[in-house]
Amino acid sequence: MFTGIITDIGTVLEIEKRGDLRARIATVYDVDSIDTGASIACDGVCLTVIATGSAPTAWFEVEISAETLGKTNLGTWARGRQINLERALRVGDELGGHIVSGHVDGLAEITAMQDEGDSTRVTLRAPDQLAKFIAPKGSVALNGTSLTVNEVDGASFGINLIPHTQQVTTWGDARVGDKVNLEIDTLARYVARLHEMEHQPNG
């Protein structure tokens, strides 16, 4: 379980394609405190750590299945790629964002970006089947970052990036046309499901 509050920007050091994809990621985390089998959200995708090391810089390795590659943007990873990182939530940690599972629902595409003062307004298009779960003032996780939805127009929705968010995540490098990992709010999913059940005919 995660919160969508990014705590490091990692860098892909190595990519190895076998049946699955294996990636080595540089981090500022204390890798001595990361157990093999621990979960780390990488651009919003919950991945299992399979190895760690500290030379010449601290790093951890993950394996990414073909199914995950098909549902996320991780297939575009290459050496030098910067990614948002968040370690799993521990009991007693502050919940600063919203509950994020690390299970990406689909890809949203950035369709417009516009500076508004010091902030940036970003418009994205969600897959049609996910649009019903996105509501104004609700939460979404985009590339692992907990963000508030400003407005919704069909499958399109807008978010606002303040300077701090752009500085401490990879959102400072975002561009129109980018496809980002989208995880809808778990609460929104359950509310929509309850609504469907209430409107089903009896019998």
Residues of the chain with pLDDT under 50: 203
By the 8 A CB rule, do 138 and 149 touch?
yes
> In terms of Cα–Cα distance, which of 164, 54, 162, 76 is closest to 117?
162
> In terms of Cα–Cα distance, which of 92, 61, 71, 79 is closest to 13?
79
Residue 117 confidence (pLDDT): 92
8 DSSP β-pair partners: 85
Residue 171 confidence (pLDDT): 97
Domains of the chain: 8-87 (2.40.30.20), 106-195 (2.40.30.20)
For residues 47 and 53, give the distance between their C-alpha atoms in angstroms, rounded to a whole number: 17
Residue 18 confidence (pLDDT): 75
Residue 1 confidence (pLDDT): 85
Residue 89 confidence (pLDDT): 79
By the 8 A CB rule, do 9 and 83 touch?
yes
For residues 60 and 27, give the distance between their C-alpha atoms in angstroms, rounded to a whole number: 8
> Tens of pLDDT along 146-171?
999 999 999 999 999 999 999 999 99
